[in-house]
Chains A and B, each alone.
Chain A
Amino acid sequence: MAQTLSLLYDRVRVEEKEIINAAQKKGVELRPIDAKELHLEITDLNKDEIFGDVALERCVSHFRGLYLTAILENKGVAVINPFSVAALCGDKLLCSMKLAKAGIPTPKTIVAFTKEEAMKVLEEEMGYPAVIKPVFGSWGRLIAPLKDRETAQALLEDREEMGNPLYQIYYIQEMVERPPRDIRTVVVGDQIAASIYRYSAPDDWRTNIARGGKAEVCNLTEDLRELILKAAEVVGTGLLGVDAMETKEGIVIHEVNSTVEFKGAMSVSEVDIPGMIIDYALEKARR
């Protein structure tokens, strides 16, 4: 019997449209399902047929997608990405630890749990400039460069006032000296689909395409390919966006993203990324 797929979304971005198109082109049955219109009985463990053999979880809301994945896996539906991968990649702290433990070069990061202790990290260990990031969230949201004591104090005070307790997990990272670009690689299973340089927009220091960053093809060296594939394997393998930076001391991998956006990569690469995603999902369905 032919394998069937589902696509779980809450917003249809370019990526989701392209995945739907790719399935159509290949004659694969893929059912788009709006997560906002779902309710699921979590105490009933029967497999719900509407999700098909494999569900591609593409929600823009991380927690919506994460819990949906947990529920579907519990009902016996295979999800791309698996819960363990999405949970790890959705948390910068857990992801940094995992990369470091696997011996993958990653920026030095120190975590504190109070504003006072975070100041101590900056004054006594990290120095300025440094970067503070929320442990969750994306698109560079609330990621700030801390250039001096005054900025740091003001920013940490702001953080204290923010309602979400996760903002009181102070994740402080060294400011890596790099060119105004980073390297985003879309990894599909154990294959590299495409790799791009993301240049930061003229009025921003962050390289996120969502912040206006520009894409250009990047030809990876064999060493870098290996490192990127290892990073993808370390977090558990899936459909991933591995982000690397070029430093004087060599490459560092600073992040692995779970619901990877590949609009930028698609705009400059010849590779059929959505087609690869469908093939990967089918392969998983056969297993």
Chain B
Amino acid sequence: MKFKCPECDGEIETKEVIEGEILSCPDCGAELEVSKDKKGNFELKVAESEGEDWGE
């Protein structure tokens, strides 16, 4: 699958993805979350950054 990085516009090629998965842009290193748009197509958005309460 092919995506555009929402941060740097770089090309991102991946295998199959699932919603909620985190990818990192090979160009700019941004952490990106796989989500679905209103039509149900996969899209990438910038992922939340680590919070103080993250973990187990």
Contact = CB atoms under 8 A, between A and B. Distances in A.
B52 interface: yes
Interface string B27-47: 000000111000000000001
B41 to A, nearest CB: 16
A60 B54 contact: yes
Given A61-B53, A61-B54, A139-B56, A10 B22 contact: no
B18 A137 contact: no
A62 B53 contact: yes
Contacts of B47: 11
Interface majority SS (helix, strand, loop, mixed), chain B: loop
A139 B21 contact: no
A12 B56 contact: no
A238 B42 CA distance: 34
Contact of A258 (B18, B19, B56): B56
A12 B52 CA distance: 18
A113 interface: no
Contact of B22 (A12, A36, A64, A257): A12
Contact of A139 (B18, B19, B55): B55
A64 B35 CA distance: 19
A141 interface: yes
Contacts of A141: 52, 54-55
Nearest to B34: A12
Contacts of B21: 12, 17
Interface in A208-229: 210
Contacts of A11: 20, 22, 33, 47-48
Nearest to B17: A12
Interface of B: 18-22, 33-35, 47-48, 51-56
Given A11-B48, A34-B19, 13 more contacts: A11-B33, A11-B47, A16-B20, A20-B18, A36-B48, A62-B54, A137-B52, A141-B52, A141-B55, A164-B52, A257-B56, A259-B56, A261-B55
16 contacts: A11-B22, A11-B48, A12-B18, A12-B21, A16-B20, A32-B19, A34-B19, A60-B54, A61-B51, A61-B53, A62-B55, A138-B53, A139-B55, A141-B55, A259-B55, A261-B55
